[in-house]
């Protein structure tokens, strides 16, 4: 089989397309012929040894895939050769074949294409867990989404609207603002590029407050971090929830006096750990996502597609923060 692998710590340019032996599924494992693998922010980190998990090299990045079952290992129940599936692998998805634990696979309906299937779990799954389990979202609340034009951000806009919330989308350009509005955002704030001085930070906070309204944001969904977090926290509502999802702009340093003044909560959203700790609840949320997809309330917006031999370019595009929507690698 072919696999795009990391042999040394570095950026996307260090990845090598290798020819390797087909893996053999062990007990409880399923071999999937990969048809599509979406690119997510952890893929940009794991090859630089900056992610929470550091697999032994050489390894292929790619944690979210869709494909067809090619073989099953001993003890596998519920899966057979030919089944259409989506799955989570942590790493290994940027290959023609990948081993997946049977409990990390989900059936892909016949009317859902592989690219869409590969774009569902990490972005929408993260947001479902974040908004529902950590944010306790309710109809009529206001949600401020930072980084609202990326894959996770657009999914957060869509899901917030599906749950009956009013959404303020924060983005970095007019082009991204149009995407956020198309996904259902009620208001849009276009911010400049950090770093911000005190005046710029206060001006951004004022812009967030104006867009969120006099009561503020019941939920701040922070995918960005860095200098963008404090202005968003200043726009939070009384007893609001500030959800820490990611920090491509850097780890923020929040003034904790603001949490006291607003009586608000700062909540971490570690979706990957949640899926391992509570697999049954995770499975129920995946079923709910497929229902929302069928109802037309969510729709992964795939903005770029690459073949496997150009998958490094896909990772570089996401790393540059120029990607809008989802980026998918299609594998023949």
With respect to residue 282, please indicate whether it lies within any of the assigned structural domains.
Answer: no
Do 105 and 144 sit in the same domain of this protein? no
Cα dihedral 36, 41, 47, 50 sign: negative
Burial class (CB in 10 A: 0-12, 13-18, 19+), 221: buried
Do 250 and 306 sit in the same domain of this protein? no
Query: Over the stretch 246-260, which tens digit does the pLDDT of each residue have?
Result: 888 889 999 999 999
- Taking the model in full, what pTM does it have? 0.90
Number of folded domains that form the chain: 2
Do 145 and 264 sit in the same domain of this protein? yes
In the predicted model, is pLDDT for residue 9 greater than 80? yes
Do 146 and 253 sit in the same domain of this protein? yes
Q: How confident is the model at residue 159 (pLDDT cuts 50, 70, 90)?
A: very high
Alpha carbons 145 and 226: distance in angstroms, whole number:
14
Mean pLDDT of the chain: 95
The per-residue pLDDT for 20 is 96
Which regions of 208-281 does DSSP assign to beta strands (E)?
Answer: 217-222, 236-244, 265-268
Burial class (CB in 10 A: 0-12, 13-18, 19+), 55: middle
* CATH number for the domain that contains residue 25: 3.90.180.10
In the predicted model, is pLDDT for residue 321 greater than 80? no
Q: What are phi and psi of 101, to 5 degrees?
A: -65, 140
The per-residue pLDDT for 13 is 97
Alpha carbons 218 and 264: distance in angstroms, whole number:
9
Alpha carbons 230 and 204: distance in angstroms, whole number:
9
The per-residue pLDDT for 287 is 94
Q: Is 21 left (phi over 0), alpha (psi -120 to 50) or beta?
A: beta
In the predicted model, is pLDDT for residue 53 greater than 90? no
Would you tell me how many other CB atoms lie within 10 Å of the CB of residue 332? 8
Would you tell me how many other CB atoms lie within 10 Å of the CB of residue 62? 31
Do 163 and 33 sit in the same domain of this protein? no
With respect to residue 88, please indicate whether it lies within any of the assigned structural domains.
Answer: yes
Three-class SS of 135-193: CCCCCCCEEEEECCCEHHHHHHHHHHHHCCCEEEEEECCHHHHHHHHHCCCCEEEECCC
Which pair of tokens denotes residue 1? 């089989």
Query: Over the stretch 54-70, which tens digit does the pLDDT of each residue have?
Result: 999 999 999 999 999 99
Do 177 and 115 sit in the same domain of this protein? no
In the predicted model, is pLDDT for residue 46 greater than 80? yes
Segment 224-238 mean pLDDT: 96
With respect to residue 225, please indicate whether it lies within any of the assigned structural domains.
Answer: yes
Do 130 and 110 sit in the same domain of this protein? no
Of 271, 290, 308, the last residue of a domain is: 271
Q: Which residues, listed in sequence order, are joined to residue 150 by a DSSP beta bridge?
A: 325
With respect to residue 238, please indicate whether it lies within any of the assigned structural domains.
Answer: yes
Give CA 167 to chain center in angstroms. 18
Query: Over the stretch 80-113, which tens digit does the pLDDT of each residue have?
Result: 999 999 999 989 999 999 999 999 999 999 999 9
Segment 181-199 mean pLDDT: 95
Q: How confident is the model at residue 325 (pLDDT cuts 50, 70, 90)?
A: confident
Q: Pairing between strand 64-72 and 29-39? A: antiparallel
Task: Name the percent of the chain lying above pLDDT 70.
Answer: 100
Residue 103 CB contacts under 8 Å (≥ 6 apart), including other chains:
28, 279
The per-residue pLDDT for 51 is 86
Segment 161-172 mean pLDDT: 97
The per-residue pLDDT for 224 is 94
Do 158 and 83 sit in the same domain of this protein? no
Do 130 and 116 sit in the same domain of this protein? no
Structural domain that includes position 245: 122-271
DSSP states along 83-131: -EEEEE-SS--SBSEEEEEGGGEEE--TTS-HHHHTTTHHHHHHHHIII
* CATH number for the domain that contains residue 159: 3.40.50.720
Of 226, 253, 271, the last residue of a domain is: 271
Q: How confident is the model at residue 25 (pLDDT cuts 50, 70, 90)?
A: very high
């Amino acid at each position: 089989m072919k696999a795009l692998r990391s042999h040394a710590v570095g950026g996307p340019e260090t990845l090598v397309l290798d020819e390797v032996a087909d893996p053999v599924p062990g007990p409880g494992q399923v071999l999937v012929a990969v048809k599509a693998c979406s690119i997510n922010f952890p893929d940009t980190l794991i090859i630089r040894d900056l992610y929470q998990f550091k697999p032994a090299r050489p390894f292929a990045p790619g944690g979210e895939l869709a494909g067809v079952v090619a073989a099953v290992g001993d003890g596998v129940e519920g899966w057979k050769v030919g089944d259409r599936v989506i799955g989570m692998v942590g790493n290994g998805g940027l290959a023609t074949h990948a081993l997946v634990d049977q409990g990390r696979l989900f059936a892909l309906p016949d009317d859902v294409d592989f690219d869409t299937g590969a774009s569902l779990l990490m972005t929408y799954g993260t947001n479902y867990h974040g908004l529902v389990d950590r944010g306790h979202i309710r109809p009529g609340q206001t949600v401020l989404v930072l980084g609202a034009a990326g894959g996770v951000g657009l999914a957060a806009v869509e899901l917030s609207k599906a749950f009956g919330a009013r959404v303020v989308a924060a983005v970095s350009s007019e082009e991204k603002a149009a995407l956020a509005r198309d996904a259902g955002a009620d208001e849009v704030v276009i911010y400049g590029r950090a770093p911000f001085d005190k005046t710029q930070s206060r001006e951004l906070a004022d812009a967030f407050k104006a867009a969120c309204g006099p009561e503020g944001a019941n939920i701040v969904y922070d995918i960005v971090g860095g200098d963008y977090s404090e202005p968003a926290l200043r726009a939070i509502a009384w007893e609001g929830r500030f959800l820490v999802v990611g920090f491509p702009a850097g780890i923020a340093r929040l003034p904790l006096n603001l949490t006291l003044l607003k009586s608000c909560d700062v909540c971490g959203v570690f979706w990957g750990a949640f899926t391992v700790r509570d697999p049954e609840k995770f499975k129920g949320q995946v079923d709910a996502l497929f229902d929302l997809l069928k109802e037309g309330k969510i729709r992964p917006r795939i903005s770029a597609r690459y073949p496997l031999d150009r998958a490094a370019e896909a990772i570089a595009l996401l790393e540059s923060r120029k990607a809008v929507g989802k980026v998918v690698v299609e594998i023949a």
